[in-house]
Copies of this chain bind each other. A is one copy, B any other.
Amino acid sequence: MGGIVEPRLLRGLQDLFPAQMHARQWIIDTIRGVYERYGYVPLGTPAIEFLDILSGTAGEETQKQLFEVRGPEGEQLGLRFDQTVSLARVVAQYADLPRPFRRYQVAPAWRCDNPYEKRGRFREFVQFDIDAVGVESDVADLETITAMCDTMAALLQAAGTQAGRDTGGFRVRVSSRRVLNLLLGFAGLPPDSAHDVFRVLDKLDKLGHERVRLELTTGYVDDSGSRVRGLGFSGAQVDRIDQFLSIRATSRGDALTQVGELFKDVLGAAAELEPLARMSERLHALGYGDELVAYDFSIARGLDYYTGTVFETILLDLPEFGSVCSGGRYDDLVMRFLGERVPAVGTSVGVDRLLIALTELGCAPLRKCSAQVLVTVFDPGLMDHYLAMTYELRRAGINTELYLGPEKRIGKQVRYGDHYEIPVLVVCGPDEHARGEVQLKDMAVGRQRTAEVKDRGQWRAERPGQFNVPRDQLVLAVTKLLAEVGNES
């Protein structure tokens, strides 16, 4: 066994304790409910993929963030950095998979980048993804957007109701790689500058308008004194980009009108904007108004990857937290395996990020215990009695823990129940036992009421394993108390 090893974790990895796990499970179950309502089917893939599968698919940045794994025969392996890379492999690997393949996957992914726990950026993080593969129709983009809305609405409404506070809502912001491609033409920039231009525009939120302008033109010296290279575009060109970025629309229709007006002389602009207008109308007809889904064409997130629509979701009361659910259309991902273009659109909820965000909003349903009842051990000699009560409550569907720790004193056992915030305690000492009584303690702060369950003469112990009050009386009394403290199962 060797010497004592220090128990510790790599930076950016986290242990999740019961309250966080209960909340995370609730988030996952809620999202799963919505996505199954949309008919998405579950897929499971292993965490470990061959390194060449991962590395060719990852972007430049992600490439550097792969956790490499050594296989039993020296195989070059790695941990997946997202769910989409494995989806692309699956679609390529199983030729008989019928399309459309609309799958959800909820699983961890790993990136060994610089962690930032306060903003929910971990090196292992759970993502809940949906993707529809083999769908050219823009109705699939619409479905993805409404699924994002339904998911966020379900989560925020339920969390808010439980927490008794308004969660402030959310907004899905929709952009389009194809509209941003038009911008290149409008500003007179060469098509092959797309990658560089969009990379800079994506930093708008982080750097602000002035520095983005400088990076597009002459460059600047950043706060650490380093020189940031400029892209060398002219003032006139960047003025045109500015015109585009300064669009402030109050509705989707307004955004489309303003962009249409600005791009009226750009070849093909009308044709690119038309599907967005149709999608907006359909969203309205289905009940997804401008307050839920906005068009904001300044979003340039992941534009190396996405080929059409791009989505992100912000929490209105926590806008600086960044997107908690992002996605878009990507038609080239399977190319690398099949040499074939496969249209696809999807989105991903950052489950761990969302948990941090809901916690910051004060509305994560953090529940420390699973048990609704703790049966205490006043007298170890009455253990058969406590066991019988415990199993009776469990069989009635009441989550029940029997105290099995080393503490003999009831005060210490109460403290244990307090730590886990178990709402009801069962106490029965030799005196109560002799009188055919059981005490129920409501542990909600400031109450400490004691209910008594009394044998009214109906009960006689006939065999070991029976306890000293009628079974149905105990279950009824506990159920009543749980209802009073608002903890029904």
Residues of A near any B CB (own CB < 8 A):
1-2, 4-10, 13-18, 20-22, 24-25, 35-50, 52-53, 56, 65, 67-72, 75, 77, 79, 89-90, 92-94, 98-100, 102-103, 108, 110, 112-113, 123-124, 132, 134-137, 139-140, 142-143, 146, 281-282, 284-287, 335-339, 368-371, 374, 383-384, 387-388, 391, 394, 397-406, 416, 419-420, 422, 463-465
Contacts and interface: CB of A to CB of B under 8 A. Distances in A.
B39 A371 contact: yes
A44 B21 contact: yes
Closest A-B pairs by Cβ, 6 of them: A285-B465, A39-B401, A39-B371, A16-B44, A21-B42, A18-B41
A124 B48 contact: yes
Contacts of A50: 8-10
B48 A67 contact: yes
A286 B388 contact: yes
Given A38-B394, A72-B112, A1 B336 contact: yes
B21 A43 contact: yes
Contacts of A53: 5, 7-8
B69 A401 contact: no
Given A5-B53, A43-B15, A50-B8, A71 B112 contact: yes
A387 to B, nearest CB: 6
Given A48-B124, A137-B404, A335 B71 contact: no
Interface core residue of A35, A37, A89, A123 (most chain B CB under 10 Å): A37
B5 A110 contact: no
A45 B9 CA distance: 10
A405 B99 contact: yes
A172 to B, nearest CB: 16
Nearest to A345: B404
Given A36-B399, A71-B10, A336-B5, A98 B420 contact: yes
A122 B322 CA distance: 39
A9 B100 CA distance: 23
8 contacts: A1-B335, A4-B339, A16-B45, A18-B103, A21-B41, A36-B370, A71-B112, A139-B387
B387 A286 contact: yes
Interface core residue of A93, A285, A335, A403 (most chain B CB under 10 Å): A285
Interface core residue of A17, A35, A77 (most chain B CB under 10 Å): A17
A336 to B, nearest CB: 5
Contacts of A71: 10, 67, 112
A405 B158 CA distance: 34
Contacts of A39: 369-371, 374, 399-402, 422
B102 A7 contact: no
Contacts of A369: 39, 41
